Chains A and B, each alone.
Chain A
Amino acid sequence: MNMHSSEAATAEEAIAAQEALPPLTNEDATAVAMQNTLLTPRFYTTDFDEMDAIDVTSVRGEWDALIARMKSDPNKGHFKKNADWDDVDWDGMEPKLKAEFIDFLISSCTAEFSGCVLYKEMKRRGSNQDITTLFQLMARDEARHAGFINDALREAGIAVNLGFLTQSKKYTYFRPKFIYYATYLSEKIGYARYITIFRHLEAHPEKRFHPIFKWFREWCNDEFSHGEAFALLMKTDPKLTESFQNRMWIKFFLTAVFATMWVRDHQRPAFHAALGVDPAWYGQEVFRKTSEITRQVFPMTLDIDHPRWVPTLNRIQAANVQIAAGEKRGGIAGKLAALGGRIKAGVNFIGLLTIPVQRNAVPASPRLEPVY
C-alpha cells in the first residue's frame, strides 16, 4: 500500500510517497490548486468539577423537554445541499467582496469548530449525565455547521487545514460562570444576527449573493436552542444573575459583546453593501432582538436608545481605525497613534458602561421559542 506523504518521517520519504502516487486526475489537480487555510481554534479548560456539580432539578421539566427535542434532531435533514444551492459565480465576484465573504466563512467555520472542541472537552471531562448529554448534542450541531461551511469554502477553492493538532497549543482558563455568560450571549446574538440577515434577504432576494444564506433560519434555530440550555443552566443558581458582582459582570459582558460586534461589522463594508444592509441599522436591530431575548434570564438590558449609545460606539469604531492605521504605519509615530487609539477606545468603552441600564424583572420560567 502506498504511504501517504503526511505519514512520512522525512522530507525524502514524503517526496517518494508523493511520486509513488498515480498521476493526478483533473479533480486532484483542482485539489492541489486549492488555497490552504489553517484553522486556528482555541483551547480552553475550566473548573470541570464545578460544572459537573450542576443540579438541574429546579428546572427539570423544561430541561428534559429541551434535551428531548435536541435529541430528536429536527434539523438533521436540513444541512444537505439541494436544488436551492445554486451556482456561485466566484470568479465574477468583486474581489473586495470575495475577500470579505471568505473571511466571513472562515471565521464562522473556526467559531463553530472552537465551540465543538470546547463542548466535546466538557462532555469528556464530566460525569453528570444531564450536562454531558447537553454538551454532546451541542458538539454535534457545531461539527455539522462547520462541515457545511467547509463545503462552501471548498467550492470557493479554499481547503481548511486541520494541521493545528500537531502544533503546540496552550490551554487557557475560564471560570464556569464566564463560559455561561459568554456562550449564552454568543449563541443568542448569533441567532439574532443570522435571523436578521435571513429576514432581510427574504424581503430582498436579489441581494442574496450566495446560497448559504438560505440555510440561516434552521441554522440559527440550533444556536437558539443552545442558548436556551445555557439560560436554564444559569437558572439553576440564582446567584449567577442576582448578586451585585455578577450583575456588574453581565453588564460588562453585554457591553463588550455589543461593542465588538459593532466594530467588526463596520470593518466589512463591501459585505454589508452587497447584502444591502447598513451596519449601523443591522447592529441596532441585532442588539434589540438580543436584548429582548436576554430578558429571559438577565436582570437588565442595555439602553441602546440612549442618546450617548450610538455616538460612543462610533467613537470606539473610529479609535479602532486609528489603532489599525497606526500599527500598519509602524515606527514610533505609528505606535503612538495606535496607543492613542487604544486610550480613546478604553475611555469610550468606560463611557458606555456609565449609561444606566434598564432593569428587567426576570420571568420565573425562562423558556422561549425563536419567533423572529
Chain B
Amino acid sequence: MGFFTRTRETAPCTVTISHRFEELSAHVRFDNGTTVNPGDEVQVQGPEIMAAFGERVEEKRVAVITRASKLEQIWTRATGDFEFMELCEFSFSEEALS
C-alpha cells in the first residue's frame, strides 16, 4: 500500500440475497478470506443481482477492491467516527419533504 497511491485487486466472492417475508438481507463474502479496511471501496462485478419476492439467491461473482492509500486510510480512521449519526436512524430520512 502506497502512502498516496491506491491499488486495485480482485477477489472471488459469494453474494447472498434473501428477499423473503421472513428475511430481507444481502451480504457479500470474500471467498479468499481477504478483508476490507477503512476507506476501501468494493464493487461486485456483473449485472445487478435480483431476487424475486420469496426467493433466496446465491451467486459466485468477482469483486474489485480498490484499496485506499495509507493517507486515505488514516483520514477515514480519523474522521469516520463523525458519521456516527448514520447508525442512529430515526425512522425518517434526513431530507425535509415538501
Residues of chain A whose beta carbon lies under 8 Å from any beta carbon of chain B: 4, 6-9, 14, 31, 42-45, 79, 96, 99-100, 103-104, 106-114, 116-118, 120, 124-125, 139, 142-144, 146-151, 154, 160, 162-175, 178-179, 181-183, 185-186, 189-190, 193, 253, 256-257, 260-261, 264-265, 267-268, 320-321, 324, 328
- Interface residues in B44-83 by Cβ distance below 8 A to A read 44-51, 53, 66, 76-77, 80-81, 83
A151 touches which of B21, B28, B76, B83 (Cβ 8 Å): B21
Chain A residues, Cβ within 8 Å of B7: none
Nearest-Cβ distance from residue A367 to partner chain B, whole angstroms: 23
Chain A residues, Cβ within 8 Å of B43: 166-169
Taking a contact as CB atoms under 8 Å apart, the answer to whether A264 and B50 are in contact is no
Taking a contact as CB atoms under 8 Å apart, the answer to whether B92 and A165 are in contact is no
* Interchain pairs with CB closer than 8 A, number: 180
Chain B residues, Cβ within 8 Å of A151: 21
Given contacts A107-B93, A264-B92, contact A173 B42 (CB under 8 A): no
B29 touches which of A109, A124, A166, A183 (Cβ 8 Å): A124
Most buried by A among B15, B23, B92: B92
Kindly list the 3 A-B residue pairs having the minimum CB-CB distance in the complex, ordered from nearest.
A111-B89, A173-B80, A173-B38
Nearest-Cβ distance from residue B54 to partner chain A, whole angstroms: 11
Taking a contact as CB atoms under 8 Å apart, the answer to whether A113 and B24 are in contact is yes
Residues of chain B whose beta carbon lies under 8 Å from any beta carbon of chain A: 15, 17-29, 35-51, 53, 66, 76-77, 80-81, 83-98
Taking a contact as CB atoms under 8 Å apart, the answer to whether A6 and B91 are in contact is no
Taking a contact as CB atoms under 8 Å apart, the answer to whether A45 and B38 are in contact is yes
Given contacts A6-B48, A174-B80, A261-B90, contact A256 B35 (CB under 8 A): no
20 cross-chain CB contacts under 8 A: A9-B47, A42-B86, A108-B91, A143-B24, A146-B24, A150-B19, A150-B24, A154-B53, A166-B43, A167-B43, A168-B43, A171-B37, A171-B38, A172-B38, A260-B85, A261-B90, A264-B90, A264-B94, A267-B97, A324-B95
Query: CA–CA, A264 to B62, complex, Å?
Result: 39
Taking a contact as CB atoms under 8 Å apart, the answer to whether B41 and A169 are in contact is yes
Taking a contact as CB atoms under 8 Å apart, the answer to whether A106 and B39 are in contact is no
**Chain A: which residue is nearest B72 at the CB level?**
A170
Most buried by A among B39, B84, B97, B98: B84
Taking a contact as CB atoms under 8 Å apart, the answer to whether B90 and A175 are in contact is no
Taking a contact as CB atoms under 8 Å apart, the answer to whether B49 and A165 are in contact is yes
Taking a contact as CB atoms under 8 Å apart, the answer to whether A103 and B97 are in contact is yes
Taking a contact as CB atoms under 8 Å apart, the answer to whether A168 and B92 are in contact is no
Query: CA–CA, A172 to B84, complex, Å?
Result: 10
Nearest-Cβ distance from residue A139 to partner chain B, whole angstroms: 8
Taking a contact as CB atoms under 8 Å apart, the answer to whether A107 and B96 are in contact is no
Most buried by A among B36, B48, B85, B98: B48
**Chain B: which residue is nearest A81 at the CB level?**
B21
**Chain B: which residue is nearest A48 at the CB level?**
B35
Taking a contact as CB atoms under 8 Å apart, the answer to whether B80 and A172 are in contact is yes
Taking a contact as CB atoms under 8 Å apart, the answer to whether A147 and B23 are in contact is yes
Nearest-Cβ distance from residue B94 to partner chain A, whole angstroms: 7
Taking a contact as CB atoms under 8 Å apart, the answer to whether B87 and A186 are in contact is yes
Taking a contact as CB atoms under 8 Å apart, the answer to whether B36 and A45 are in contact is yes
Nearest-Cβ distance from residue A151 to partner chain B, whole angstroms: 5
Chain A residues, Cβ within 8 Å of B89: 107-108, 110-111, 114, 186
